[in-house]
Amino acid sequence: MLKQKIIIQALKRNRNTMSEDNITTVVNTFVFVDLISNPKFQIILFFLLLLIYTATLLGNLGIIALIRSSPQLHTPMYFFLSNLSFLDVCFSSVVTPRTLVNILVEKSISLTGCAIQMYFVIGLASTECFLLGAMAYDRYVAICKPLLYPSIMSPRICILLVIGSYILGLLHSLVQTVFTFRLSFCGSNKISHLYCDISALLLLSCSDTYLNELLIFCVAGSVETITALSVFISYAYILANIVKISSAAGRLKAFSTCTSHLTAVTIFHGSILILHFRPKSSNGSSIQDVSDKILAVFYTTVTPLLNPLIYSLRNKEVKDAWSATQRKLCVKN
């Protein structure tokens, strides 16, 4: 009997110890792993990202202001472009300021803060996927059905396409975020990424992540496939229509209206596919080495900067509107 009591007491002590260990290992905050360990290079990286972020804000906000102030740019194409620039400003602002703080000062983020950041990162990126698809449809109508363009791409339809892009993007993000943060996080709390990326968080979970991986494969994969396919089909019809144009000058003019959008789509979808849908390494992580972090920097900070450069440097209408604005300012002064 005494021996049984001793065994029971030992089991109780072990159970209490295990409970205390579980409590102490539950993760309430996450810590971002340094991109660069050398302090000197960290300072260089800080100012480089700050410069890129400043240029991103100035470029995209400048595009929005130019479109709003130039009557010749009050068309569906530039309505979509102004919304694209707004998305890039928001996307960059969700990631880059926090990254700058992490480089120099605080490297941790709360569980709630991580959930909010992940929601907006996925939501804004998904919204941009749908918006780029809508822009491809706009180019298809403009080139393949020019006589019907004013009626098909009416202001009401354009607004509905933009609102629909936001609704679908944010709903997709809500699903991914809710299912991710229903998981338990214990043990290591170090995120090897610039921000709270869903793949990095799943690696830290001590719960079964099969359903989450299925959601990423099915839902996120469907978003990427559908939006990329809509762009591909639109441009297949566009190219088929351009080939039918008899004059070389006419073909060049028709194709030139699409080059900026096609370049932006290639960079954006290419970055997503390389970063999120490539094969994982042997330890189950796709973001463990330096090359992965460089890709994350490019996707989150450089890509939002490229859109205003692409549309301003390769677009004659934007250049003309900018010149007209400068002339007006000179006249006023």
Cα distances from 73 to residues 138, 165, 273, 299, 323, in angstroms, run 15, 22, 32, 28, 13
Nearest to 92 by CA among 131, 51, 132, 129: 51
In a domain, 203, yes or no: yes
pTM as predicted: 0.84
Structural contact between residues 255 and 247, judged by C-beta atoms closer than 8 angstroms: no
**Structural domain span for residue 318:** 33-279+286-332
Residue given tokens 């309430």 in the structure block: 28
Instruction: Let me know if residue 168 belongs to a domain.
Output: yes
**Residue 6 within a domain:** no
Assign residue 117 the CATH number of its domain.
1.20.1070.10
- Which ranges constitute the DSSP H helices of 153-247? 155-180, 198-204, 210-215, 221-243
- Determine, yes or no, domain membership for 24: no
Domain total of the chain: 1
Phi–psi pair at 26, nearest 5 degrees? -65, 130
What span, in angstroms and rounded, lies between the C-alpha atoms of 195 and 96?
9
Q: Is 164 a member of any domain?
A: yes
Residue 190 lies in a domain: yes
Q: Is residue 200 part of a domain?
A: yes
pLDDT in single tens digits along all 333 residues of the chain: 434 444 334 434 444 444 434 444 567 888 888 777 777 888 888 999 999 999 999 999 999 998 898 888 889 999 999 999 999 999 999 999 998 888 888 788 899 999 999 999 999 999 999 999 999 999 999 989 989 999 999 999 999 999 999 999 999 999 999 999 999 888 778 887 788 988 889 888 888 899 999 999 899 989 989 999 999 999 999 888 888 877 777 777 777 778 878 888 888 888 777 776 666 554 544 444 566 677 777 888 888 988 888 877 666 777 767 677 766 666 666
Q: Which pair of structure tokens corresponds to residue 247?
A: 């004059």
- CA-closest candidate to residue 171, choices 232, 107, 210, 220: 220
Whether 21 is in a domain gets the answer: no
| The two three-digit tokens of residue 140, written as one number | 């298809």
